Amino acid sequence: MKTLKALSALLSYPTEELVAARDEISAVLDREAILSRSERSAIQGLIDDLANADLMDAQERYILLFDRTRSLSLHLFEHVHGESRDRGQAMVDLIKVYEDGGYVPTTKELPDFLPLFLEFASTRAPAEAIELIGQPTHVFAALRERLRKRRSPYEAVFGALVKLGNVKPDATMIARLLAEPDPEPDDLEALDAAWAEEEVLFGPGSASDACGKDGLGAKLRQVNRPAPGMSPATAAGPRTVITQAGKTTRPGA
């Protein structure tokens, strides 16, 4: 699904290379046409905005939105696990998902960085890719709403991700995320408070527990499991498999 790779590129830090690829990105979206015409039109608005803006202004806007504003972080586990100890294990599990899929990231970003996650999903079969991006639908929906409030053209990407995930967002989870502080990037005092280190919680009541058993971290551990009634894919050789306990086994080893 090259559309996911195109969306990954649009959520990356603006560069001259990204702007130069604008026609190619538009062509991919139109050629696959897995998004509706109105959704593609909205995304084209972001593409045109990036193309017409001063590059330094576009870069500054990106930093203010996604780097300085915690409530708009592009690191998925920031919204799922917060500062709980489960975040580290979720990172390990996600790295294993990438490794088992034969995916080697080319950046030094953390594995839960959304453009990286979408690039990995773009390498999977369509059904698996849709299942993957459907898992954090409530996060995408909350980010879309926050960007809509700011009248940001980046809203279009998150609207597309919600639609592609083909999962009805959990209203309770969305409400919980939207209840978190959402300061403007020029409100330095509020930003400092939002980024203040949180207490690390253990056991019941932790951030991941609040998201329920079907939270993103738990679901990512199950990516390589076959659907009910389906036989697991035959591997070419021994490979690492993520178990529910977070440990690894090597079939045939």
Give tens-digit pLDDT for 132-162. Answer: 999 999 999 999 999 999 999 999 999 999 9
pLDDT at 59 over 50: yes
Mean pLDDT of 111-134: 93
Question: What pLDDT score does 38 carry?
Answer: 96
What's the whole-model pTM score? 0.72
The dihedral through the CA atoms of 191, 54, 10, 169 has a sign that is positive
**Cβ atoms within 10 Å of 24's Cβ, excluding its own:** 11
Domain extents for the chain? 2-224
Find tokens 């039109």 and name the residue.
41
Residues 6+ apart with CB under 8 A from 27: none
Q: Tokens at residue 122, please?
A: 């773009």
Give the distance from CA 241 to its chain's centroid. 22
Q: Please calculate the CA angle 127-40-59 and round it to the nearest 5 degrees.
A: 100
**What residue type is 122 in one-letter code?**
S
The alpha-helical segments, DSSP class H, found in the chain are: 2-10, 16-20, 22-32, 37-52, 55-62, 76-80, 86-100, 114-121, 126-134, 137-149, 155-165, 171-178, 188-194, 207-210, 216-220
